[in-house]
Amino acid sequence: LFAKVFVIETIVSCTSALSKNRYGWNIHEVGLLGCANGLFVIPFSIFVGYVSKSYQDRYLMVCLLSAGICGLSLLIDVSDLVGGEDNARTYNKNHWLSVGPSQYVIGYFLAYISIQSFEGVIGSAMSKLIPTALATGTFNSGLLATLVDTFGRSCGDIFISVMGYINIRQLMNLLFIPGVTILIACLVIVRKYYDLLAV
């Protein structure tokens, strides 16, 4: 849950700074991206809920994490890693390994929609796996999940600020390489405990 919120926060909260610095987008283009994102995520979440009748939560976790990893991988600008123009103000436009606006939008949608839909699957799995003793009292599983959510969001915002301070030109790689690593770690954990998640 922490990893999911942390990665989502790094994807969404950096959008305006990242798109303005790399692609020269204005506020209207950033707003359009956010609006389209919201329009896509709701039907997809409904679809995941419908599909969950036929597939176990653990299978959906693997699928959604894999899609999230693919989406975030599209956002890693390899041209900056292999000696792109460090003094360039925007992205390495003529380099075939660079992440242009179209690839950014595709990766953004794929990562955001799959990871955001992952939340419903986590909630479903938690409701089946958490002992009933944690469902009562003040410090119940719902409160703990909210606290973890808030902590993940705060850590994501702090992480964006620190990475932007380190190097705003390399912000995309500084945010999304760790994001991919976190999602891969989550996928490994889900696969490791796959039998325990059979509910």
User: Rounded mean pLDDT of 2-28?
Assistant: 89
pLDDT tier, 81 (very low <50, low <70, confident <90, very high otherwise):
confident
Of the candidates 11, 35, 47, 179, which has an alpha carbon nearest to the alpha carbon of residue 121?
47
pLDDT tens column, 83-127: 655 555 677 777 788 888 999 999 999 999 999 888 888 877 777
pLDDT tens column, 135-155: 666 667 777 778 888 999 999
SS (H, E, C) the chain: CHHHHHHHHHHHHCHHHHHHHHHCCCHHHHHHHHHHHHHHHHHHHHHHHHHCCCCCHHHHHHHHHHHHHHHHHHCCCHHHHCCCCCCCCCCCCCCCCCCCHHHHHHHHHHHHHHHHHHHHHHHHHHHHHCCHHHHCCCCCHHHHHHHHHHHHHHHHHHHHHHHHHHCCCCHHHHHHHHHHHHHHHHHHHHHHCCCCCCC
Query: What is the pLDDT at residue 68?
Result: 94
On the 0-12 / 13-18 / 19+ scale of CB atoms within 10 A, 107 is buried
Across the chain, mean pLDDT equals 86
Backbone φ, ψ for residue 26 (5° rounding): -100, 180
